[in-house]
Amino acid sequence: MTPSTSQTSATSPSQTTARRVRVEFAGQSVEFGGPGVVVIAGPCSIESESHLLNTGREIAAHGAVLLRGGVFKMRTNAASFQGIGEPAFEFLPRAKSAIGLPLVCEVTDPRQIEMMLATVDMFQVGSRNMYNYELLKELGRTDKPVLLKRAFAATVDEWVNAADYVVRGGNDRVVLCERGIRTFETTPRNTLDLNAVAWLKAHTSFPVVVDPSHGTGRRELVIPMALAGIAAGADGIICEVHPVPDQALSDSAQAIDFKMFEELVRKSRAVAASLDRTLAVLEKGRA
Amino acid sequence: MTPSTSQTSATSPSQTTARRVRVEFAGQSVEFGGPGVVVIAGPCSIESESHLLNTGREIAAHGAVLLRGGVFKMRTNAASFQGIGEPAFEFLPRAKSAIGLPLVCEVTDPRQIEMMLATVDMFQVGSRNMYNYELLKELGRTDKPVLLKRAFAATVDEWVNAADYVVRGGNDRVVLCERGIRTFETTPRNTLDLNAVAWLKAHTSFPVVVDPSHGTGRRELVIPMALAGIAAGADGIICEVHPVPDQALSDSAQAIDFKMFEELVRKSRAVAASLDRTLAVLEKGRA
Amino acid sequence: MTPSTSQTSATSPSQTTARRVRVEFAGQSVEFGGPGVVVIAGPCSIESESHLLNTGREIAAHGAVLLRGGVFKMRTNAASFQGIGEPAFEFLPRAKSAIGLPLVCEVTDPRQIEMMLATVDMFQVGSRNMYNYELLKELGRTDKPVLLKRAFAATVDEWVNAADYVVRGGNDRVVLCERGIRTFETTPRNTLDLNAVAWLKAHTSFPVVVDPSHGTGRRELVIPMALAGIAAGADGIICEVHPVPDQALSDSAQAIDFKMFEELVRKSRAVAASLDRTLAVLEKGRA
Amino acid sequence: MTPSTSQTSATSPSQTTARRVRVEFAGQSVEFGGPGVVVIAGPCSIESESHLLNTGREIAAHGAVLLRGGVFKMRTNAASFQGIGEPAFEFLPRAKSAIGLPLVCEVTDPRQIEMMLATVDMFQVGSRNMYNYELLKELGRTDKPVLLKRAFAATVDEWVNAADYVVRGGNDRVVLCERGIRTFETTPRNTLDLNAVAWLKAHTSFPVVVDPSHGTGRRELVIPMALAGIAAGADGIICEVHPVPDQALSDSAQAIDFKMFEELVRKSRAVAASLDRTLAVLEKGRA
């Protein structure tokens, strides 16, 4: 386990050696932090097994290498749909096999970790839990990679420090995810902060992913901001895809359909190539 | 248990009937939301039994009616002092009796609740945990009052919705605490948002407390902002007091000493009186 | 003329000697920065001579000592009402005499200054012009007091530096006015930043006024935030009053009527008294 | 002159017909809003004729098609270097001819316009003057193109409304420039808001330029954020170049040297090409 002392302050000297983080699945793996840009896609919330299969197969066919999908949702209003919860773990292993992609899934309580370990290939910590240090400490005791979203009002220094809670626990497989910060501007719901992406790539060793779906909250901005994220140096893109976006049970205004996703992947490949990068693929074997 | 439907939206019609929340201790109680302004004081972190006794006796003598003190601290840096933790619960019952005040103490993980129930008279949810809905749901299953701090980038609507997670769980004894929001301004560390206090008093039924210590992060602003909080309509003030502020193990720049605390209470009483209010006292009996 | 070097940096050592600024009118004067809290009131925009007379006489009768009223309005939308402009200067001297109060009026272009000099007793620089350094330099060449509003995203350091543009021009009669900053919170339109008031009183010599009308944008918050401003240490309050607020040509949601203004003055006097201050009066003679 | 009614509200229906704005110079012109991405470069402040010639010839050789350089500088502190001012207009025509590029130059006061008209090919309105409506109205009476920077706390709706002040004056040759907004994050000095760029391209007809120098305030972020700007849909890039950045009289931390500028242009060309765009060139003839 590499010690993480150089990540504990945003003012520490630059690190140019990128940390590489692999997500493993069925004898294959995909790497964050190398030359390939990782495309992660899927629904905001998993609504049912058939919904997940339908979406998952399409995004896999179009070039996604990691499946996203929420089971426990963090909702502002206690009366809103809170995700389908624990019952999802009955069908998730079956669905993953059918789709052929590893799964990144949000954990919202340290007490959920054990139940999720057998099924989830990468833990996601959502924006509202970036400061949930008890949860981060527990994830530091696992050996699964962690996708750590930035809290929507966290400084990059606090974000790197939150990653350090996981690393100090013994798990250095942390990937950071920029998902939009809260500013005075409300035309896009959030302000996707690509400066932070460029800064993290220049000053820390963590792989960085960009979420243009939550980061803007508006469908028409997802493709340009995904491309901008890659140009700013991101190691991956995570976006919400739904067969019929307007019918999504959560965050429907920002989900894109299969056709837009195909365009996103095609243009991402072109922009990545212009910067001497590729789109990452699932490879046989582990790190 | 009163249903909370009217709190679920910031745009709901005004509620003019103030909710009253009592904290009970040793056959006595103190009330939030009535004519008396509640003064809460104590150290940021409890550093030892003698430190707590020393501070607690002084603030009780000067007019505080509720003792604050952290056992589990949320710190940005994983290497910083994290509070003395579980061992504190050995001496806390003894210290409370000696001081003669009820205790409000921060909970940071749902798994701590059971251990704290016997000792803590009011649970505090810190700013970083306002969106920790799993924790809020668990607190909704207890019968202890909850002091819910605003996340430093939460809208008042999200804050009222977070309170609703506790209320819907079955516990409507929620007091809100404004503790400063994050803005572009960094001269004071945070921006204490008294507009939110006035808005909550006009539009919801929750008692509201103001924290001028965290809310400004600067000692010289604590007294004027405490007085401003009372003038804006707050039902209480919570502040950090330390025998020798510059030696505090956490947040030393904002702690005030006993002499400043005496001045704060004296001036608070004068401002409260000018608005036909008093400072709350510990009364015999319960609600 | 006092040199202003100590105001040029927010990190400069504290100044405890308050600067006093007098506004003169018809052989009388009112002082900012002394023991009296100055109440400024009037319409957002002057709509006609009779409208001004009606409002001015009422607010004078209730305790205002300085009349506010805009002639040139800064409006986001080029198609909105831009104020009645230059024709107002025909009736303003007559109206001032009838009302018996000095007038503070916004200047939006250096080319307006000469025309305004004979009529206006205090120049107001609005929030959008705080960074208009060419305008500030010109005001530094006059001998009229200047009420300098904070830009809604200015740090206190930038604000004090803007004041310094006037002072270095040769005019040290500057009063600062906090009028709400722009944050992620949109329930009140702006966030009135009373921390800045307390900070300025602790660290600079400038008198400070609070504008709870623009600062909150909501009528029901005007009185509590005015009182909070006084408790935080403000030397004055400026608020928008209209005979029938819902019919105001600009900013109607935040204007208060005569009855609310009477309540505001009465409560302001009580809070000021609790802090050993009074409400300022127009006095015979000059500084 | 096209009426601008569709730009007056950010909620207006989308406009997909891009407006094209040409800057003319010595029988040539360069176009904003067409297929070519315009590269604008030069010093923050013009320090002397030789300094301008040195920088201008280098950036022209590397692919810049528009020269930037400030004569009147807006500085927070009244004691800072304020630009060389009016004397620059003596040598500017000569320098432009020698360099062979048109000049964009900031105007800070309506009274400067007449003096600048003969020399300046495009007026720049700086961030601090976006709300200076008197200045915008005067620019609406000229026939020169205007580069309108966003105020650092302006919503996109206010920004489009500011552009409308120029358009309604009779001058529809407005190009918008995103230059970073003010947020709680201070690691990069500003937060370059590329969401706004993508939004403006989707919803208005204005050409949009990105300023990664002011937008980040840090040299190492200039290239990645310039590329990200192009990927987000920008029609141009404006950046500060200095022969020896650390010796620049203003904003030295964000200026790049000639070698970095060459890299910026080379990579910008590649990213533009991946999105079927080119870098704009100076063409013979006018629109």
CA distance D60 to chain C (A): 33
B262 pLDDT more than 70: yes
Strand partners, D236: D38, D209
State what percent of residues in chain A have pLDDT above 70. 94
* Structure confidence at residue C79 as a pLDDT band (50, 70, 90): confident
C175 pLDDT more than 90: yes
Residue pLDDT, tens place only, D70-88: 999 888 888 888 888 989 9
pLDDT of residue D12: 41
Q: Which residues of C touch B192 (CB under 8 A)?
A: 194-195
Residue pLDDT, tens place only, D186-223: 887 889 999 999 999 999 999 999 999 999 999 999 99
Q: Which residue of A has its CA nearest to B137?
A: A78
> Residue holding tokens 């009223």?
C69
Strand segments, DSSP code E, in chain D are: 21-25, 28-32, 36-42, 66-68, 103-106, 122-125, 146-149, 174-178, 208-210, 236-240, 278-279, 283-284
Chains adjacent to A (≥3 CB pairs closer than 8 angstroms): B, C, D
* Structure confidence at residue B287 as a pLDDT band (50, 70, 90): low
Cβ atoms A187, A155 nearer than 8 A: no
pLDDT of residue C13: 39
Residue pLDDT, tens place only, B82-124: 888 989 999 999 999 999 999 999 999 999 999 999 999 999 9
A258 pLDDT more than 60: yes
* Structure confidence at residue A18 as a pLDDT band (50, 70, 90): confident
pLDDT of residue C239: 96
Mean pLDDT to the nearest integer, A109-129? 96
Mean pLDDT to the nearest integer, D95-102? 96
pLDDT of residue B286: 62
How far apart are alpha carbons B7 and C38 in whole angstroms?
38
pTM given for the model: 0.92
Cβ atoms D143, D287 nearer than 8 A: no
D46 pLDDT more than 80: yes
Mean pLDDT to the nearest integer, D129-143? 96
Mean pLDDT to the nearest integer, A261-283? 98
Which residues fall within 8 angstroms of residue A184, CB to CB, at 6 or more apart? C153, C182, C183, C184, D153, D155, D181
pLDDT of residue D1: 31
pLDDT of residue B6: 35
Q: Which residue of D has its CA nearest to A218?
A: D199
Mean pLDDT to the nearest integer, A244-266? 90
A3 pLDDT more than 50: no
Task: Note whether C131 contacts D: Cβ–Cβ < 8 A.
Answer: yes
**Which residues 73-92 on chain C approach chain D with CB closer than 8 angstroms?**
74-79
Region of D186 (left: φ > 0; alpha: ψ -120 to 50; beta: rest) is alpha
DSSP string, D120-189: -SEEEE-GGGTT-HHHHHHHHTS-S-EEEEPPTT--HHHHHHHHHHHHHTT---EEEEE--B--S--SSS
* Structure confidence at residue B18 as a pLDDT band (50, 70, 90): confident
Residue pLDDT, tens place only, B113-158: 999 999 999 999 999 999 999 999 999 999 999 999 999 999 999 9
CA distance A212 to chain C (A): 20
Q: Which residue of B has its CA nearest to C199?
A: B221
Mean pLDDT to the nearest integer, A157-176? 96
pLDDT of residue B10: 37
Residue pLDDT, tens place only, B54-68: 999 999 999 999 999
Residue pLDDT, tens place only, B203-220: 999 999 999 999 999 999
Mean pLDDT to the nearest integer, A131-138? 95
Angle at B249 between CA B243 and CA B255, to 5 degrees: 45
Q: Which residues of B touch D182 (CB under 8 A)?
A: 184
Q: Which residue of A has its CA nearest to C184?
A: A184
User: Which has more confidence, A237 or C76?
Assistant: A237
How far apart are alpha carbons C59 and C279 in whole angstroms?
14
Task: Note whether C195 contacts B: Cβ–Cβ < 8 A.
Answer: yes
Centre a 10 Å sphere on the Cβ of residue B17 and count the other Cβ atoms it contains. Answer: 7
C116 pLDDT more than 70: yes
Buried/exposed C195-231: b ≥16 CB within 10 Å, e otherwise: bbbbbbbebbbbbbbbbbbbbbbbbbbbbbbbbbbbb
pLDDT of residue C286: 62
Chains adjacent to C (≥3 CB pairs closer than 8 angstroms): A, B, D
pLDDT of residue A10: 37
* Structure confidence at residue A287 as a pLDDT band (50, 70, 90): low
pLDDT of residue B285: 75
What is the crossing angle of helices A194-203 and D222-231, to 10°?
A: 140
Residue type, D72: F
Mean pLDDT of chain D: 91
How far apart are alpha carbons A75 and A127 in whole angstroms?
12
B9 pLDDT more than 70: no
CB contact (8 A) between residue D153 and residue B183: no
Helix (H) or strand (E) segment spanning residue C24: strand C21-25
DSSP string, C165-219: HHHHHT---EEEEE--B--S--SSSSB--HHHHHHHHHH----EEE-HHHHH--G
